[in-house]
């Protein structure tokens, strides 16, 4: 009999980025569980940035409409259970362990038949798919893990496909051009299933439209479709974007509203109220989240996200509430962190920079990162840079040294967000 800790330790030991060769493996494991992914309606979401926020917004709208709604996301910040939830409640430790034991039993059987052990994300996806079926979900919102075409979640046939912001990330797996990356994301488009897209990139948009045409799917461009929604919905999105610290959440709210309108006709008070209440309830940790009145944390970890992060921070600083800006930064080694640092340095007027190393095999040397902050510092500017070999020390120092008129911004990795949340609450 396994414990919850046993389950988490086992799953954590599975390689997170196993080679992707096809979906037959995933289909075999799901078939051994009686194909749970075919027992509910699905919304399938891919994208470089924003897909988690959009997934959460859509799940809240569906829940408000009276549907029992499952949500599968990645990554988690503190606890693995965060990835699997129904109507806002994470799977319990006991149930998580039960699903783990069930799937592990199927894995051992199928390995004898020549199937490969599921990758980390694939294992959790199969657990989630089964859990949602056992709990008789009406809808499930599945967020892709990496890419789309070969992602484990792409075994599903959704009622609608969604593609959010597209930019450069995971190039070693998805390609080195926007066309290649968009092509992988567009791999989730299925014949006859509408695709709703808001990539923020004209090249990516064209790739998606061409793929939709090839497979006979309606392609819905969010900025145009949003303008046709009822005024009450547009006002709700406008108010939501006004109260959000993150400027990029407006795009995500627009996308979610258009997706929901495809599934539920927005023509009466009830359905329009679903959008209003969902946006009012929306909370997404680690995305321009204020841990305290003067400490904001964001998981931005690629070029596009860094740009949106700096835009949001500049708006915050223009509010006049703070005079100085300090930064705590840590990043994974597989990210284009030099470009992220360049964007931050060119767009933000910093006072102090605290660089930390993540508690991860993918950590980046703090001294290497610290030198980049000095190298990209604008001419005539000066800021102190402090390097630490762990996040806790950097956090404690940054918090203790922060003055009353100073905003502390934490950015660079969702793993950084998770580490800080694990000891700052």
pLDDT at site 21: 57
Q: Give the Cα separation of 233 and 235 in Å (integer).
A: 5
pLDDT of residue 247: 73
pLDDT of residue 18: 60
What's the average pLDDT block by block, 10 residues per block, for the chain (425 residues)? Answer: 95 77 89 98 94 96 96 93 98 98 96 93 97 98 90 97 80 65 94 96 94 97 95 91 77 96 80 92 88 91 86 87 94 86 94 92 88 89 91 96 94 91 80
pLDDT value for 248: 78
Kind of pairing between the strands at 160-163 and 195-197: parallel
Provide the residue ranges of all domains of the chain, joining segments of one domain with +: 4-281, 289-424
- On whether the CB atoms of residues 256 and 164 are closer than 8 A, the answer is no
Helix/strand/coil percent split, the chain, to 5: 50, 15, 35
- As a three-state string, the secondary structure of 41-78 is EEEEEECCECHHHHHHHHHHHHHHCCCCEEEECCCCCC
* Whether the bond into 75 is cis, omega within 30 of 0: yes
pTM: 0.89
pLDDT at 7: 97
Question: What CATH number does the domain located at 289-424 have?
Answer: 3.90.190.20
CATH superfamily of 4-281: Mur-like, catalytic domain (3.40.1190.10)
C-beta neighbour count of 330 within 10 angstroms: 31
What pLDDT does 294 receive? Answer: 93
């Amino acid at each position: 009999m396994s414990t919850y800790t046993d389950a988490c330790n086992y799953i954590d030991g599975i390689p997170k980025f196993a080679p992707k060769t096809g979906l037959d493996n995933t289909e075999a494991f799901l078939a051994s569980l009686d194909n749970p992914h075919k027992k509910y309606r699905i919304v399938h979401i891919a994208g470089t940035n924003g897909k988690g926020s959009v997934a959460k917004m859509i799940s809240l709208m569906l829940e408000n409409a009276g549907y029992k709604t499952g949500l599968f996301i990645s990554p988690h910040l503190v606890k693995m259970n965060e990835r699997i939830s129904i109507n806002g409640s994470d799977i319990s430790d006991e149930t998580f362990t039960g699903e783990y034991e069930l799937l592990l039993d199927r894995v051992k059987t199928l390995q004898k038949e020549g199937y490969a052990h599921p990758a980390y994300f694939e294992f959790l996806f199969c657990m989630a798919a089964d859990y949602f079926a056992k709990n008789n979900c009406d809808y499930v919102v599945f967020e892709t893990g990496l890419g789309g075409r070969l992602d484990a979640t792409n075994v599903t046939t959704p009622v609608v496909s969604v593609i959010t912001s597209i930019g450069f990330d995971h190039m070693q797996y998805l390609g080195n051009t926007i066309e290649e990356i968009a092509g992988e994301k567009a791999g989730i488009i299925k014949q006859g299933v509408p695709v709703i897209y808001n990539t923020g990139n004209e090249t990516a948009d064209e790739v998606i439209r061409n793929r939709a045409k090839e497979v006979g799917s309606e392609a819905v461009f969010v900025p145009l479709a949003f303008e046709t929604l009822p005024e009450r919905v547009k006002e709700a999105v406008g108010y939501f974007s006004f109260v959000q610290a993150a400027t990029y959440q407006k795009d995500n709210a627009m996308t979610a509203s258009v997706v929901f309108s495809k599934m539920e006709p927005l023509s009466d008070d009830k359905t329009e109220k679903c959008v209003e209440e969902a946006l009012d309830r929306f909370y997404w940790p680690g995305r321009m989240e204020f841990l305290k009145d003067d400490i904001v944390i964001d998981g931005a970890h690629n070029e596009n996200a860094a740009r949106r992060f700096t835009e949001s921070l500049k708006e915050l600083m223009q509010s006049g509430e703070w005079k100085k800006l300090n930064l705590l930064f840590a990043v994974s080694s597989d990210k284009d962190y030099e470009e992220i640092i360049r964007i931050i340095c060119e767009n933000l007027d910093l006072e102090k920079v605290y660089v930390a190393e993540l508690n991860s095999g993918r950590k980046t040397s703090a001294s290497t990162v610290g030198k980049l902050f000095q190298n990209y510092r604008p001419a005539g500017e000066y800021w102190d840079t402090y390097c630490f070999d762990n996040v806790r020390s950097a956090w404690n120092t940054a918090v203790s040294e922060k003055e009353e008129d100073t905003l502390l911004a934490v950015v660079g990795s969702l793993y950084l967000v998770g580490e800080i949340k694990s000891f700052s609450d």
